[in-house]
Structure 1
Amino acid sequence: MRVHFIAIGGSVMNNLAIALANKGYLVSGSDDFIYEPSRTNLTKNGLMPEQLGWHPERITEDINAVVLGMHAKADNPELVRAQELGLQIYSYPAYIYEQAKDKTRVVVGGSHGKTTITSMIMHVLKELGRSFDYVVGAKLEGFETMVKITKDAPLIIIEGDEYLASAIDRRPKFLLYHANIALISGIAWDHINVFPTYQEYVEQFKLFIESIEEKGTLVYNKDDKEVQNLVSNNNSNINKHGYKLPEFTINKGVSYLKTSKGEIALQIFGKHNLSNLAGAFTVCEWLGISREDFYQAIGSFKGAARRLEYVADYAGSVVYKDFAHSPSKVRASIDAVKEQYPNSKLVAIIELHTFSSLNEEFLQEYFDTMKQADEAVVFIDQNSFRQKNIKPIEALTIKKAFNRDDIIYFNDAQNLEGYISQLDPQGKNVLFMSSGNFGGINLVNLSDKFFNF
């Protein structure tokens, strides 16, 4: 089997390419830019293209399948050549379905918590020695790659993204998996560049429920009113199993899950993460995992990369980084750190980076999301405006959108570094939130400056 990847440098694309190569397929690929860690991953596995750029002459009739990444445009020269030759072209979610159509497919969807819930399920399965494949959007401790596709595993756990599959397949990715067990963690408007209205966005989750295989199962967050509404109005022939935020306590900076078997010490914290745990627990129940086994396994779960991830601590102060960028994620992450450390002040720093967050109309969705932070900082790399061809946002607009007149606004990474360096760390914690990289700032070095090292 010979497979060619157009835009092989994507985070999931490169991992899928590696998984297929490990399966014995002949894999090739191309891209115009390949960044780290994709470059190292591909090089280590002998899949790094010899030359960057698009080369239609590499598209030949002996290719069995072309996998098209979202980065590639509809007029991509290699795609055009593949179409001319009549080759079989897949988006990556469509190809994953082809690889997994005979397996039990668990698909985790929702505007927030997808990666964490997926990784919780994977962690428990691994701890219990279960055989499974997976597709997840972050590098997880204990897993070498973000994608694993084998011949024999009877089960696959998939993080189901609602973003579009490819330039020629405008359906949300999670629709293409045809879940046997699906989960929806919550709904909060995102991706306004492809879903310009809230109702259009919600409609995708309605379609997601309808895409579940007949007699399959929907696991859903009963605490989310929008999800509850969709479930109530759905008449599909599926099982429906809701979950709610479980009872927990916090003692000396550690969260404990209350269970019938006593309290379970956790290495994660925050109500949103406890809700995620409840969702993972419910999915695992449907996979035949006992409560006792789940509780024993989940205690060692440390969290997914960049999801309230510990960076450094010193003299009672701590620094975290989080992938949070959408309004609901920002609010949840800030609330979690404040609840976990109620006696410390919190400096919350968010980088607005995505197309949605830099849209002045969508910016209003951030209203009061940083309310619980003692000091609120917004950073926008000035290069983002040029790259996305949009006009710069004024500080006053930011303050009105967040409903905080005291917000500190930076559009230069050096000025942000200077601000962090002059902070007094005594009795303060810092939370960095972004889906970007803060203009290339090294957060470990920046933490040292915060601690005055």
Structure 2
Amino acid sequence: MKKVHFIAIGGSAMHNLAIALHEKGYQVTGSDDAIFEPSSTRLKQRGLLPEEMGWFPEKITADLDAVILGMHAHADNPEMEKAQELGVKIYSYPEYLYEQSKDKTRVVIAGSHGKTTITSMVLHVLHFHHKEVDYMVGAQLEGFDVMVKLTEENDFMVMEGDEYLSSALDRRPKILLYQPNIALISGIAWDHVNVFPTFENYIHQFELFVESITNGGALIYNSEDEEVVKVVEQSEKALKKFPYKTPEYTIEDGITFLQTEEGPVPLDVFGKHNLNNLEGARLICNQLQIMDDDFYEAIQSFKGASKRLELINRTKDFAAYKDFAHAPSKVISTTNAVKEQFENRKLIACLELHTYSSLNPEFLSQYKGTLDKADEKIVYYNPEALAIKRMEHISPDDIRTAFGDDSIYVFTSSNELKSHLDSSDKSQKVFLMMSSANFGGIDLKELFA
């Protein structure tokens, strides 16, 4: 039985990998200085939740086969230092995923936006047709107990490829460690400005990603994204290249129909960006021997990944959705999608600025025009988040100037935001709540009951 210890086991990705190894039969231990829900309950259910919070070097012993180091563990972590002292092999999260999948056909879906949705679509279709694969995805999916699955017997490993850094010891983007046989790039829009200080530096990571694909491998790419096309076309790597673009579709009575050779296919998801994602997923599935008619049969029941245009509530009077959108490219595509789907309703778009990038005064101008399709625009941010991140003060006027719209409602209090939304006449409106956080703890289901 292999023995593996996790440093920072409570992370969203880390605890799912810990569960996957536990279910594979490994002896798993871990530590963290804080573990929140749902990680806490999910670890506890499997007997993996640490008895005490904190770091305990005595947990690191020479008989460990591996230590897996989470991104949120600092460079002076005492457990990591003990592992280095004992000579125990330390892996970053993506390194260990590669170690688990190096003898499989690896499928990696990368890009600044859409990668979670595309990965989710692929897994939904495979699951629908009872095709077993190993996987790693960044959102909870309907019909899947865990977000990471690892086996000895499955031939394929499908992974969402994040370009963020691997660990405190390994500062390479995660996507550079997987060495895919089949890869997809959905789009390139500058993100993670705290890590990639220039757009050119950010683009370079995708150039390196293309070079990391195995010789003779397949590269599927969004031909509607100029930056993606540049990266793909300049590569001289021996690859099979498959471009894709948004397929034809229509909207009738609030339902999107995909136009196919087999006729119109009704979908539960909507928005041009999601139709674009769907086309990328179709080409990935083709590579995995799922033909188009089987793909279209399965994709009709795909309801979306968690927090990706997820329905909060819909009545005869109004509809409300929540979305993980926070980067400018995601905000504009999500806002436009909802407006297109409900063109006869007034759109109230509410965005929380929460990430390092979105709260960076120098980056704020990237949001200019992103909410233009909304009839009422709201931006919320918590000044405490700026203080915690030790960032410059931002005023409501700074927000309006950056977004290029003086009509934007700006709230810095969640109670005031809730009161504003609560008092709104919801008749014939659609509400879009965009955040990678939780609007200061507002219960959206209660708000839009």
Fold equivalence (TM over 0.5): yes
Q: Which runs of 5+ in 1 are unaligned?
A: 449-453
Query: Which residue does the alignment assign to 1:374?
Result: 375
User: Residue 441 of structure 1: CA displacement?
Assistant: 1.0
Query: Which residue does the alignment assign to 2:334?
Result: 333
Query: Which residue does the alignment assign to 2:232?
Result: 231
User: Residue 390 of structure 1: CA displacement?
Assistant: 1.5
User: Residue 202 of structure 1: CA displacement?
Assistant: 0.5
**CA-to-aligned-CA distance 1:387-440 (integer Å, 9 cap, x gap):** 111232111110111111101101111010110111111121110000011111
Query: Which residue does the alignment assign to 1:350?
Result: 351
**CA-to-aligned-CA distance 1:288-313 (integer Å, 9 cap, x gap):** 11111111111111100000000012
Is 1:271 aligned with 2:277? no
User: Residue 367 of structure 1: CA displacement?
Assistant: 0.7
Query: Which residue does the alignment assign to 1:184?
Result: 185
Query: Which residue does the alignment assign to 1:157?
Result: 158
Q: Distance in 2 between matches of 1:105 and 1:387?
A: 39
Q: Distance in 2 between matches of 1:411 and 1:185?
A: 34
Query: Which residue does the alignment assign to 1:140?
Result: 141
**CA-to-aligned-CA distance 1:62-111 (integer Å, 9 cap, x gap):** 11100000010111010011011111000011001000001110000000
Describe how 1:52-451 pairs up with structure 2 within 5 A. 52-448=53-449
Q: Distance in 2 between matches of 1:18 and 1:30?
A: 14
**CA-to-aligned-CA distance 1:104-159 (integer Å, 9 cap, x gap):** 10000000001000000000111111110100001000000000001101001100
Q: Distance in 1 between matches of 2:137 and 2:384?
A: 29
User: Residue 315 of structure 1: CA displacement?
Assistant: 2.8
Q: Is the 8 A contact 2:222 2:228 kept in 1?
A: yes
Q: Distance in 1 between matches of 2:124 and 2:56?
A: 40
User: Residue 442 of structure 1: CA displacement?
Assistant: 0.8
- Match of 1:220, as an amino acid? Y
- Match of 1:305, as an amino acid? S
Task: Figure out how many residues of one structure are paired with residues of the other and give that number.
Answer: 448
Q: Distance in 1 between matches of 2:109 and 2:56?
A: 36
Q: Distance in 2 between matches of 1:40 and 1:383?
A: 28
Q: Distance in 2 between matches of 1:44 and 1:267?
A: 33
Scaled by the length of structure 1, what TM-score is found?
0.98
User: Residue 447 of structure 1: CA displacement?
Assistant: 1.2
Q: Which runs of 5+ in 2 are unaligned?
A: none
User: Residue 57 of structure 1: CA displacement?
Assistant: 1.2
Q: Distance in 2 between matches of 1:213 and 1:347?
A: 46
- Match of 2:315, as an amino acid? Y
Q: Distance in 2 between matches of 1:113 and 1:330?
A: 12
- Match of 2:118, as an amino acid? I
Q: Distance in 2 between matches of 1:377 and 1:32?
A: 35
Q: Distance in 1 between matches of 2:415 and 2:319?
A: 22
Q: Distance in 2 between matches of 1:118 and 1:388?
A: 31
Q: Is the 8 A contact 2:267 2:300 kept in 1?
A: yes
Secondary structure at the residue paired with 2:47? Answer: coil
Q: Distance in 1 between matches of 2:134 and 2:320?
A: 34
Secondary structure at the residue paired with 2:131? Answer: coil
- Match of 1:117, as an amino acid? I
Q: Distance in 2 between matches of 1:430 and 1:45?
A: 38
Q: Is the 8 A contact 2:361 2:392 kept in 1?
A: no
**CA-to-aligned-CA distance 1:196-236 (integer Å, 9 cap, x gap):** 11111111000110100110011000000000011110000
Q: Is the 8 A contact 2:251 2:257 kept in 1?
A: yes
Q: Is the 8 A contact 2:31 2:53 kept in 1?
A: yes
Q: Distance in 1 between matches of 2:116 and 2:336?
A: 19
Query: Which residue does the alignment assign to 1:451?
Result: none
Secondary structure at the residue paired with 1:320? Answer: strand
Q: Distance in 1 between matches of 2:231 and 2:61?
A: 46
Scaled by the length of structure 2, what TM-score is found?
0.99
Describe how 1:42-61 pairs up with structure 2 within 5 A. 42-61=43-62
- Match of 2:38, as an amino acid? P
Q: Is the 8 A contact 2:165 2:173 kept in 1?
A: yes
Secondary structure at the residue paired with 2:243? Answer: strand
Secondary structure at the residue paired with 1:166? Answer: coil
Q: Distance in 1 between matches of 2:303 and 2:316?
A: 22
Q: Distance in 2 between matches of 1:152 and 1:375?
A: 52
Secondary structure at the residue paired with 2:142? Answer: coil
Q: Distance in 2 between matches of 1:352 and 1:129?
A: 40
The structure 1 segments of at least 4 consecutive aligned residues displaced by more than 6 Å after TM superposition are none
User: RMSD in angstroms over aligned alpha carbons?
Assistant: 0.7
Q: How many percent identity over aligned positions?
A: 55
Secondary structure at the residue paired with 1:242? Answer: strand
Q: Distance in 2 between matches of 1:440 and 1:85?
A: 43
- Match of 1:191, as an amino acid? H
Secondary structure at the residue paired with 2:319? Answer: strand
Q: Distance in 2 between matches of 1:92 and 1:344?
A: 44
**CA-to-aligned-CA distance 1:325-381 (integer Å, 9 cap, x gap):** 000000001000000000001000000000000001111110100000000000002
Q: Distance in 1 between matches of 2:402 and 2:358?
A: 11
Secondary structure at the residue paired with 1:170? Answer: coil
Q: Distance in 1 between matches of 2:313 and 2:260?
A: 31
Secondary structure at the residue paired with 1:171? Answer: coil
User: Residue 383 of structure 1: CA displacement?
Assistant: 1.9
Q: Distance in 1 between matches of 2:291 and 2:143?
A: 22
